[in-house]
Structure 1
Amino acid sequence: MREPSASRLTRRSLLKGTGAAGVGAFLAGCTGDGASDGTQTSETGGSGTTTETTAAESTATETGGGHSVSMSPVGTVVFDAVPEEVFTVFPQYADMAVALGHGDAVNSVYVPEMSGTTMNHYNHHLDGVSFDWKGLHDPLSNGFSKELLYKLGSDVHLTDPAWATTQSNWDRSDVEEIGSQIAPWFGNFYSGTHSPAPDGYGNYQYYDLWELFGKVAAVFRERERYEALAEVHSNLVSSIREKLPPKEERPSVVRVTLAQDGQSFYTYHLNKPGYWLADTRPLGANDAFADEDWQNLWGTVDYETMLKADPDVILHLWGITPRYSMADTRSKLENHSSGSQLTAVQNDRVYAAGMRYQGPIMNLFQIEMGAKQLYPDLFGEWPRYEDGDHYPEIPEDEWLFDRNEVADIVTGGGR
C-alpha cells in the first residue's frame, strides 16, 4: 500500500478547492442513502438540473499553469497538478481512474476484494489493463471516518460531499474541514438515481455516467482518452439501438437480487434515469416492475409478486461479483415451489448481471452482457457464467465492441 510521506501530507498548495465543498446494504442498494427514487421517466428528468455536457465542456480550463474543473455540487476546483493520490469510495470512480491510465493513484475503494475482483473480471480481456486492489483501504469498513482521510492525505477525494454529510457523525463543517485541510472533494452521488440530494444542496445537478466520466477525465487532464472511450460507447449504444425490435416484441425483464434466505427479492428498475441504470437503459427491455414505486431506491417483493410479474428474463444484480454464487441462486429458485414456476427459471434465463456502481470500462462490458442475455438472436448467445470466472470469453466476431481498441486507449497505445 502506498503510504503518503510527510511531505505529501503538507502538499496542499498543489490542489485548491473553491465553492461548496455494511455489505448487505451496499449490495441491496446503496450505502447511506435512503432517499426515495425519482418518478421521472425521461432521460433527463429530475428534481435537480441535468447538464448537457459535451466532451469540449468537460475539458479543464487552464488557469496559469494549473487547471480548473467545475461540477455539481462541489463548484469549481482549481488543480495545480494532476492528482497522484486519489481517494474513492464507490468503484465507479476507481474504474474511471483505471480507464484514464491512473489506476495506480487510487488508494481506497469499498470492499477492495469485491470491487477490484469484479473490475478485473472485465479488465482480464483488455491487454495491459488491470486494477491492483490488494492493500487498498476500505473507506467504509469501520464507518466513514475523517481519521482515514487524514491518514491517506489524498490529492483529491472522488466522493460527493453532499453524500458525505449523510454519514454518521458527519455534517457540512466536517466536509469543509477536509476540503480545506487535506484536498478537495470531487464527486456526484445522486446522479446515480436522480434521487433528491440532502438539505442544503438545492441546486444539485444530475449527470449521466459518461458526462461524469468527462468531468473526472478533466481532473486528470485526459481529454483524449475520455473522448476516444466515449466514442466507443456511443458506437456501441447506437449499434444496439438500431437493431432493437419494436417495444411489444422485447422481453419482459426484472433486475433483482435474491435475499440470503432465498424467500424474497430486492428489486430494481431498468429504464429510470440515473447512471446506476447505464447498462440496462440502452437495451430498452420491458421492465416488469416499471409501474412500481417502492419509495426507496429499491423494493422488496415476495414470490407471489414475482409470479404475478413472471418475467421472461431475470438479471441477478451482483451475480458476477464474488459476493454471490449464481449456482446457489439458481438452485434456490429451482428448488422453491414458486420459484420453479417462474418462466425465466424454466427457460434457463436467469443470468448473472454486474454492478450498478459501474465506471466506463464496466459499463461497456455490462451493456454487451445485457444485450446478449436479452436479445441472443440479435447479438449472439451469452455464454454460461460459472462462479468465480472472469467475464466469459466471446468469439471476436461476436464482440459488440473492440477490446483491442479499448485496451490501446487505456494503455496509451491508441492515443
Structure 2
Amino acid sequence: MRSIRRLDQSRREFVATGIAAGSAAMAGCITGGDVGDSEDGSDSYTVTMAPMGEMEFDSVPEDAFVTFTQYADMAVALGHGDAVNTLFSPEMSGPTMNGFYDRLEGVSFDWEGLENPLSDTVTEEQLVSADNDVHFLDPSYLLTNQDNLDQSQIERIAETVGPWVGSYHSGVHTEPAKAYADSYEYYTLWELFEKIAAVFQERDRYEALAEIADGVHSEIEENLPPESERPTVARATYDWNNDAFYTYHLNTDGFWHADTRPLAARDAFADREWSGDWGNYSYETMLEVDPDVLIHLWGITSQYPIGDARTALEEHSVGSELQAVRNDRVVAGGMRYQGPIMNLFQLEMTAKQLYPEQFGEWPGFEPGESYPDIPADERLFDRDRVAEIITDGA
C-alpha cells in the first residue's frame, strides 16, 4: 500500500540547447551529512533524503545544476552561490533575488548568462555533457512533468554524473510519480533547506539562519490580530492577458505557502479545491468570492508586475467591481519558489501588507528595484546578522 510521510512543519557554462515547460512551471532531520571518517582519509560523506535515499558525495559540490529558485537562494544563503550553473527563468529570478540581497551587505548573485534548464525537455545527453556535481531537481518531477527521461536514465545520471536532490511535490503536497509513491516524504521549507545545507556541509549557517526564522515566526504569532479581525484574502496570479486567476491556498501545507501560512489570514478560497498545483478561475468567480485583499502572486517580479495588475483590474468591467480593487488592497505577492532568504523578506512584506497596524506600513516598490529600506524599528529581522551569516559563516 502506498505510504507518503508528511513531516512537521566555478561557474561552468551549461552546454544546452534547452533543457520543460517553463510556462507551466511559472503559472526532517539530516540523517547524513557529516564529513566521513573513512580509513583512507577520504572526505566523502552521505546525505539521506526522500525520495532519493542515501546519496554519496566525494566532496562539497562546486558545480550545481539548479532548477527552481529556492535552490539558488539556498546556495547563496549557505555561501555557495557561485556553484549555481543554471536557473529557472533567470531574467525574472535573478533580478528578483538581487532585489532582496541589495539589503544584505556583501551579498549578491551573479545570474547573467545562466541557462534556463526548464526551457525545454531535460535530456540525458545534456546532463552528461554539463557534468555537474549535483542536480537540484526532484527526480519525481521529471516523471510527472516531462516524458524524456525514464527511471533507468534518472538512476544512471545519479550514479555516473551527480546525485539528484529535490522535493518538488512538497510545494503543495501533490502526488509524486508512481515510482516514488512508497518512499516519498513532504518537507517544509526549512527542512528542505536543512538537507541542502547537508549537501554543502554548512550546518552552522543553516542553524544560525533557522534561529532567525524562528524569531520572525514568533514575532508574527505574538502580534497577529484576533482571527475575527483578519481580512479575507485571495492569493492568485492574475493573468490579464488570458482573463484568468491562477489561485493558491493561504494556509495549507507546502513550502509554496511559507510566506502566507504563518500570517493566518482567512483564505477566501478555503472551501474550494483543485486537482492540480493551482486552481483556474474567471473574473466572475473572483467577484463571487470578493476577498478583502487580493495577493497578486509574482507581483514583485518583472513578469507579472503589481502595477500592471492593478491597472488591468481597474480597467476591466468586472475586475473593477472587486472590493480589493475599490479599496486599493491589491497587493504584491512574492515568488512561490522561495528559499530561506527570500522567505524572510516575503514574510515581512506580506505581514505589512495584510496587517499594517501591527507590523508597519508597506512602502511599496516597483519590480526591478531594490527591496525597500524599511526603518530599523519596523523590520522583522536583522539584516546585518543575516548578511554576516552568509558572508562570514555563523
TM score, norm. by length of structure 2 = 0.91
Q: Secondary structure at the match of 2:65?
A: strand
Give the corresponding residue for 1:32.
none
Match of 1:351 among 331, 339, 346: 331
- Separation in structure 2 between the aligned mates of residue 97 and residue 58 of structure 1, nearest angstrom: 18
The worse-fitting range, judged by mean Cα deviation, of 256-265 and 104-113 is 256-265
Are 2:311 and 1:312 equivalent residues in the alignment? no
Match of 1:225 among 205, 208, 220: 205
Q: Which amino acid aligns with 1:277?
A: H
Q: Deviations over 1:184-243 (max 9, x none)?
A: 111111111111111121220111010110011011110110000000001001110111
Q: Secondary structure at the match of 2:388?
A: helix
Q: 1:200 to 1:364 in 2, by over 3 A?
A: same
Are 2:190 and 1:210 equivalent residues in the alignment? yes
| 1:86 and 1:155 in contact (8 A); partners too | yes
TM-superposed CA distance for 1:133, in Å, is 0.6
Q: 1:174 to 1:60 in 2, by over 3 A?
A: same
- Separation in structure 1 between the aligned mates of residue 32 and residue 362 of structure 2, nearest angstrom: 35
Q: Which amino acid aligns with 2:162?
A: A
Q: Deviations over 1:249-288 (max 9, x none)?
A: 1111011111242622111111110111111111101000
Give the corresponding residue for 1:106.
84
The runs of 5 or more residues in structure 2 that have no matched partner are 1-9, 15-20
| 2:13 and 2:114 in contact (8 A); partners too | no
TM-superposed CA distance for 1:346, in Å, is 1.1
**Where does 1:235-246 land on structure 2 (aligned, <5 Å)?**
235-246=215-226
Q: Deviations over 1:356-388 (max 9, x none)?
A: 000011010011011001000000001122232
Q: Which runs of 4+ in 1 moved over 6 A?
A: none
| 2:47 and 2:55 in contact (8 A); partners too | yes
Q: Which amino acid aligns with 1:107?
A: N
Match of 2:36 among 62, 69, 72: 62
Give the corresponding residue for 1:31.
none
Give the corresponding residue for 2:12.
3
Q: Secondary structure at the match of 2:192?
A: helix
Q: Which amino acid aligns with 2:44?
A: G
Q: Which amino acid aligns with 2:391?
A: T
- Separation in structure 1 between the aligned mates of residue 164 and residue 177 of structure 2, nearest angstrom: 16
Are 2:378 and 1:406 equivalent residues in the alignment? no
Q: Which amino acid aligns with 2:249?
A: H
Q: Which amino acid aligns with 2:152?
A: S
TM-superposed CA distance for 1:140, in Å, is 1.5
Are 2:276 and 1:302 equivalent residues in the alignment? no
TM-superposed CA distance for 1:63, in Å, is 4.6
TM-superposed CA distance for 1:164, in Å, is 1.8
Q: Secondary structure at the match of 2:106?
A: coil
| 1:139 and 1:145 in contact (8 A); partners too | no
The worse-fitting range, judged by mean Cα deviation, of 327-336 and 230-239 is 327-336
Give the corresponding residue for 1:13.
none
**Where does 1:48-197 land on structure 2 (aligned, <5 Å)?**
51=28, 53=29, 59-60=33-34, 62-64=36-38, 65-166=43-144, 167-197=146-176
Q: 1:71 to 1:123 in 2, by over 3 A?
A: same
Give the corresponding residue for 2:249.
269
TM-superposed CA distance for 1:66, in Å, is 2.2
Q: Deviations over 1:96-139 (max 9, x none)?
A: 00000000001111111111111111111111111101111211
Q: Secondary structure at the match of 1:118?
A: helix
TM-superposed CA distance for 1:80, in Å, is 2.1
Give the corresponding residue for 2:7.
none
Q: Which amino acid aligns with 1:85?
A: D
Give the corresponding residue for 1:33.
none
TM-superposed CA distance for 1:344, in Å, is 1.0
| 2:121 and 2:148 in contact (8 A); partners too | no
| 1:165 and 1:175 in contact (8 A); partners too | no
Work out the number of aligned pairs and report it.
Answer: 373
Q: 1:294 to 1:4 in 2, by over 3 A?
A: closer
TM score, norm. by length of structure 1 = 0.86
- Separation in structure 2 between the aligned mates of residue 142 and residue 95 of structure 1, nearest angstrom: 23
The runs of 5 or more residues in structure 1 that have no matched partner are 6-21, 29-50
Aligned identity (percent) is: 55
| 2:245 and 2:281 in contact (8 A); partners too | yes
- Separation in structure 1 between the aligned mates of residue 46 and residue 265 of structure 2, nearest angstrom: 40
